[in-house]
Amino acid sequence: MSHLCDRLGATALLVLTVSSAACGTSGPPADTRSLNGAEGDVVVGSGSFTGTYGSDAIAPIMAAYWVGQPDDPTESAGGPFVNLFSTAVTCNDISVAGWLSKIPVETQVLELIIGTTTVGASAPTASAAAANVAEVNYLFARPSDEVRASSGSVTLNAYTSAAAVDGTVHVTFASGAADGTFHAVYCPGGQEESR
């Protein structure tokens, strides 16, 4: 009986493995959180950057979100507000007021307020967000001031309303510079961090 159970168990395991592979469910889990999901769900968004924020090297991007509830949606002329994070921040984490003080203190944050939705359009940096320009700031979750880019641009490479936005960033700060690309996923409850 034990031998028969072992064979049945092995057969069931083989069928399950073959079924999973045939159905395309092998590999990392899909992001089933969608927009505002449960705690512990897969983090979405990505980016790849080089450069420094001041004297700190830019850490790998672990999460990227298009914020759905900015303080003033007209500030960017309807363009996306994007936050890139160096730690595994979730959409739920940024869907509360004052989230900056609640995420890990080592987190680097790059904030992009992009004044266009036109793919291929290059928005030069400005001292404040507006139509056809971009406001780019970096800050840290540990106590620090927001530092604004003094020159450069943000270009949208893809834009799907209320879903995702992709772009390229080339900016310079008073101290430091950031160059790279991002894919930010829409987070409808995500809030602009008010400082």
Q: What is the pLDDT of residues 80-97, one digit of tens each?
A: 999 999 999 999 999 999
Q: How confident is the model at residue 143 (pLDDT cuts 50, 70, 90)?
A: confident
What's the whole-number average pLDDT of the chain? 82
pLDDT score for 41: 52
For 39-64, b/e burial (b = at least 16 CB within 10 A) is eebebbbbbebebebeeeebeebbbb
Average pLDDT for 109-137: 96
More confident residue, 27 or 99: 99
- Range with the lowest mean pLDDT among 36-40, 43-47, 72-76, 180-184? 36-40
pLDDT score for 59: 97
Separation CA 113–CA 134 (nearest Å): 5
pLDDT digits (tens, 9 = 90+) for 9-32: 443 333 333 333 334 433 333 333
More confident residue, 40 or 19: 40
